[in-house]
């Protein structure tokens, strides 16, 4: 058995309401919220970047781990907002955590599925017994051009998964991926903000890949939606995961606990992993979770996870520290649109 030994999360405290963004541009707030099904989003503070968020989530994960940071033998960080084009985020995080020097590190980029790409690779290293313990992170301070449709949902957050083969709290039962050249979303080198193909990002991009990867993992494991306790899907907005869940045959009850997007927006590479963490905060031992990420460009990683008896101890530790997803969603402070611009665009 191998899988998640401990997990940590970090959601920045600052929030901005979609009402404030819409009002700044003379838009109808009610119409915006109805279309996106998002009320507010998390915003990284002016002194926070992807490194900061990744470190906070990793510290949280290590707080629920019986060993030390020195046990980590690999760190992979998925993000589309790495602060340096050349100079790895992973080595900075490893230094601050006190991992030492005897570990493998690399940064990954595949739009919003870079975090699950990190989890896939770390799990493979553990399964192959190349490492005993690895750290997979998805973190983003999501970028969006002012007055672009992305501005209403692009959020910030991070998730860190300690993956190993001892005292496993969440077993990785199976995983798979599908990939295609579908350029629905892109950002060229040196360009500050991403571009997107509007409605093209729905059917041929998000829905095609998420449905395809989910159906593939269910077929691989000889399961149907009724055999799953919870489902998690990438959340670019509040509408897409609800729609794809319905298409696949999952119920509102199976999806509901994962919908962090309603409260914090879309933190890109951390989105589906934060949904998984929200589910794990409430799941009982022996429950099964189907999770499918999505990254523009395009691809999806699908997983079947199963909780073990060790999940109870992990949950108790997170509740004791006040770092559950529910705790972090509640711990917030609202900022106005001008403060938002200063934080996200460093003006």
Domains in the chain, ordered, with CATH?
A: 3-170+310-345 (3.40.47.10), 172-307 (3.40.47.10)
Number of residues that make up the chain: 347
Average pLDDT of the chain is: 95
Per-residue pLDDT, averaged over 295-310, amounts to 97
211-to-63, 111, 120 alpha-carbon distances in Å? 36, 18, 19
User: Is the Cβ–Cβ distance between 266 and 248 less than 8 Å?
Assistant: no
pLDDT of residue 102 exceeding 90, the answer is: yes
DSSP symbol at 234 = -
To the nearest whole percent, how much of the chain has pLDDT over 70?
Answer: 98
pLDDT recorded at residue 345 = 78
Active-site residues, by number, are 80, 112, 234
State the pTM of this model.
0.96
Mean pLDDT is lowest, of 6-20, 140-154, 163-177, 178-192, for 178-192
pLDDT recorded at residue 260 = 98
pLDDT of residue 334 exceeding 80, the answer is: yes
Q: How far apart are CA 238 and CA 259, in angstroms?
A: 8
Beta bridge partners of 144: none
Q: How far apart are CA 66 and CA 321, in angstroms?
A: 15
């Amino acid at each position: 058995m191998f899988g998640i030994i401990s997990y940590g999360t970090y959601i920045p405290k600052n929030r901005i309401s979609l009402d404030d963004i819409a009002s700044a541009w003379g838009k109808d707030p009610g119409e915006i919220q109805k279309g996106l099904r998002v009320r507010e989003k998390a915003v990284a503070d002016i002194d926070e970047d992807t490194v900061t968020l990744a470190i906070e989530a990793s510290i949280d994960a290590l707080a629920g781990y019986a060993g030390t940071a020195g046990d980590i033998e690999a760190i992979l960080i998925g993000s589309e907002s790495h602060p340096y084009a050349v100079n790895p985020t992973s080595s900075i995080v490893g230094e601050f955590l006190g991992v030492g020097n005897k570990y493998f590190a690399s940064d990954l980029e595949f739009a919003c599925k870079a975090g699950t790409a990190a989890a896939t690779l770390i799990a493979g290293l553990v399964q192959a017994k190349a490492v005993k313990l690895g750290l997979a992170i998805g973190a983003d301070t999501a970028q969006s051009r002012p007055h672009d449709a992305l501005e209403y949902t692009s959020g910030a957050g991070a998730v860190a998964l300690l993956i190993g083969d001892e005292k496993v709290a969440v077993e990785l039962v199976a995983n798979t991926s599908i990939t295609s050249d579908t350029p629905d979303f892109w950002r060229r080198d040196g360009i500050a903000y991403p571009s997107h193909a509007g409605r093209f990002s729905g059917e041929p991009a998000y829905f095609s890949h998420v449905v395809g990867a989910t159906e593939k993992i269910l077929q691989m494991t000889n399961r149907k939606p009724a055999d799953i306790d919870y489902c998690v899907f990438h959340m670019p907005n509040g509408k897409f995961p609800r729609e794809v869940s319905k298409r696949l045959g999952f119920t509102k009850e199976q999806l509901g606990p994962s919908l962090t997007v309603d409260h914090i927006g879309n933190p890109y590479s951390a989105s589906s992993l934060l949904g998984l963490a929200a589910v794990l905060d409430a799941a009982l031992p022996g429950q099964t979770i189907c999770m499918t990420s999505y990254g523009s460009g395009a691809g999806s990683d699908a997983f079947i996870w199963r909780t073990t008896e060790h999940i109870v101890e992990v949950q108790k530790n997170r509740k004791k520290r006040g770092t559950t997803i529910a705790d972090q969603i509640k711990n917030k402070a609202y900022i106005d649109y001008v403060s938002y611009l200063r934080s996200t665009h460093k003006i």
